[in-house]
Amino acid sequence: MKKGLFLDRDGVINRELGTHTTSLADFDILPGTPEAITAAVAAGWVVVVITNQSGIGLGMYDHAAVAAMHERLRSVLRDAGTEVADILYCPHHPQQGRCLCRKPGSLLLERAAARHGIDLAASVMIGDRQRDVDAANGAGARGILVAPDRDLMDTLRTNGLL
């Protein structure tokens, strides 16, 4: 089994806008993110992005807009010589009913673990909201809460992950 590094998207990988990131034009990858992911992969982590995208459920944007943002991320990472193993997202909004995949639920972490042979007890989730930590804890992983837009490499080093 492998150790997983689960990363929230908005506020950890790309700039937190304080509202929904609705388009590619708003998707600003934080400086140092590709280097941090490269270092994590080199250190043996299986890196997976886990994100709530409730704007889809609210009709603010669609799956194609999210796919474009995720392709931009993958392209930037490819250019840096690295990649994430997966990107999983929940499109639901709590106003439209309950689902199991929305953080603080742990389903997306559990799905990624099953898909990629990840040992959740040896894994970490980094997020800028308490719901990210709660999702990690619910899956049996360690959650790390950070301030939005914090340098990811610094977070990895400070928490002994590199």
Is 8 annotated in the active site?
Answer: yes
Closest-CA residue to 32 (of 136, 128, 113, 152): 152
Q: Of 8, 128, 132, 134, which is the active-site residue?
A: 8
Q: Determine contact, residues 51/14, Cβ cutoff 8 Å.
A: no
Structure tokens at 10: 């908005």
Give the residue among 50, 27, 66, 48 at the shortest CA–CA distance from 102.
50
- Which strands sit side by side in the sheet containing 118-127, from one edge to the other? 86-90, 45-52, 2-7, 118-127, 142-145
Task: Give the CA distances from residue 89 to residues 35, 56, 66, 158, in Å, rounded to whole numbers and listed in that order.
Answer: 23, 11, 9, 27
Q: Catalytic annotation on 10?
A: yes
Q: How far is CA 39 from CA 74, 121, 152, in A?
A: 16, 21, 11
* Options 10, 86, 128, 134, the catalytic residue: 10
Active-site annotation, residues: 8, 10
